[in-house]
Structure 1
Amino acid sequence: MNLDELKSTWKAYDEKMLASQKLSERVVFMMIKDRSKSTLAKMERNLTGAGLIMTAVVLFFAAAIAGNAFDYTSWYFYIPSVLYIGLALFAISVVVKNYRNLSRVSLSQQNLYDSLTTVLRWHEKTRTALARVWLLCMMSGFLFGVSMVARKFETYGTTKVALLLSGQALMILMVYALARWVFAVFEDRLGKELKENIQELAQLKAIS
């Protein structure tokens, strides 16, 4: 084999290896893209569920206020219910905004890394906002209990009212602590999936 034939053979081998590498990268990219689509679909389903729950909260307390379901006698008794409605509406606005953002996401080979990074940022901001809504709902729940007990102040007396409110405050703190523990134990699976896909894309870009 002369030098020209050797160069030609080596060039053909290089082209074959390059084509094989590109094919492998393409296969890996398609796998990451499919997983990312599945993750985004699950995020949209979760947002839909959260939106429906918050809508139910708005309708429930709006109906309770309109029909005076709790037999309130003064306007300030309605404050906790109004707070619940306000928090639920805020949560709905967060959910709708994130859902619209997700619906506009384009996953292509050119922008997949940037798109997933942006989605992860949206996801984390949404989780933070909804966690704050949860905390404020706990506080509103305490005020709701206060409004219920306040009507019976003369009947129960100071000591019994204080015990009831203390018990309710303790229960709310326990529920909040339990919720934080649950959130810590059950990690953010969707966020983890996004981070894993982003990490794999970064590795793919590094070797390509």
Structure 2
Amino acid sequence: DRFGEGCNNEALRILSPVGSDEELVNELTSKDSTAPRLLGQTLSRLSHCVLVMLDRCDESMEVLSHFLPWVGYNCTTVGPSSIGNRGRVSQAPLPAEVADEFLRQNMLDEHVFRFASKVFDEQLNITRRAKARAAARKAARERSKARARARARAARRRHARALYGKWAAGALVVAIALLYLTHVCRAPSSYIGARRIHVAS
């Protein structure tokens, strides 16, 4: 790289206990006696991380929003989707011997990447199961609210019918009373008038 150091085994460079030892990490291969121990330590540390995959932008943001919702991460600002990434990478395949040598020197990184992919897939599954449970709980709350609103409307209708029934009964009583009073009030005057006519005659 530009600092005169290699770029092999980047995952071990970041996560292993010997990451600061550039020469050891850069020249480490799966055949070295220390490789199994360092790989195991790297995978152990990696298993406690929330992972993102730059080639799976939307899924990475989905995972982060679940596990670390306060992190303002946007995968479109880094990696292949980066707005500032204007360069072009040649799509021509590497010669077979170059690819084989590259893989030999980075076999430990290959193991880490495969493990990380499995961890990421599991974290994505956990995220989606949690989202599904949250959606189910929200739907249940909405159904409960809808039932409560329906019960409230039914109660208001029953109350309104009860009030209407009482009002109708009261109105009927008043109407009967008015009819009665009208009849009673008219009867004496007719009776008195009849008596006067009788006396006069």
For normalisation by structure 2, the TM-score amounts to 0.32
Higher helix share: 1
